[in-house]
Structure 1
Amino acid sequence: MACSDEMRKLIGRVLDEEASISERHELEEHIQTCSNCREHYKELLSTLHLIKNIGEEPVPEFFTQKVMARLPERRVSPKMSWFKRHPFIVAAACFVVLMVGYITSLWNQTTFQAEVSDENQNDKLVYSANHTVIVPKDQTIKGDLIVKDGKVKIEGRVDGDVVLINSDSLLASAGHVSGHIKKVDQILGWVWYHIKGFFTSVFFVTPDFTT
């Protein structure tokens, strides 16, 4: 019947204590004349009382501990375990990978470059034609002089190393350089030079992987 659907919804609101006073009166008047809705209301009301009167079953002692003990242990991957035990090595490896990528990108740049490890010394350099950088006679460069894809002419003095990357030296005398003259013609040598410089500046040691 049409009234059944509407009244069943009203019965539900009354049992859920969501109905207004007027709706409660409407339901009471209706179930006095409608036997189907009256029986349905009584059945639901009895079921609701039965559920409310059911007591909570006490949980056995140590129930939670026993259930947790039967759960399978979480297996940790040996690789992940190794990473957690050696975080410094992992961080260093990531740094080296990023550093190699950066250095490789610098290598692929074919532009002429000349710089001193101490930036304050760069203004002592003089640039001339044909990608040539000159250390004047009256100047002393304190730090490593790095020249890429060009030429260097040392008339003054360099208190440090001279690193020639795909470059040539027009050095008048070896005595003008207090350190070493290093020629880097391959990318591996370029990467190795930077890695040694990093370890020297951070850990004050120079790595030696030849032994």
Structure 2
Amino acid sequence: MEAFLVSLLAVTVGEIGDKTQLLALLLAARYKKPAPIILGILVATLANHALAGLLGQWIAQHISADVLRWALGISFLAIAAWTLKPDEMDDDGLNESHYGVFMLTCVTFFIAEIGDKTQLATVALAAKYTDLSLVIAGTTLGMLVADVPAVFLGKIAAPNFPFKLVRWIAAGVFAILGVLVLLGIGDRFL
């Protein structure tokens, strides 16, 4: 259960203000079809985070525990710094194809998530925890917790949402996780 909860928290806070959350806002404001957008986010995230989780497990099996601890700690610190940089998205090229809003959301979310901080967090968490299904469930739910409200709020709340404050809080959470891992403190909690 620990893997699930840490994964959920890490991705939820890491996703606030992220380009995929902005993409959810953009798609919702443009198409006003929440059901296919949410389903597209779910499918794309499951696929993307499953691949990231498999990579994380491969890394854990082929890299020594000390190297893995340092890599994990440094990666959390890097994600903390990256979180402070606001993402920007524009809606150029987001045209509904003949496959519809669901497929557009699946493809754009999957691509946008490649190399993203939440995908890298999934790799790191899968390297740390042995139960891949709990990591993927936690990171996927974290994406939905952060992105589904964005789908329903659309452009209405976007200008007033305190993205900067939440980015700083998220960066703090990742920095704390990184320091704890590097110091070897809380190994049973991380």
Q: TM-score range by the shorter chain?
A: under 0.3
Bigger proportion of residues as strand? 1
Return the structure number with greater relative CO, CA threshold 8 A, min gap 6. 2
Bigger proportion of residues as helix? 2
Q: Which has the larger radius of gyration?
A: 1
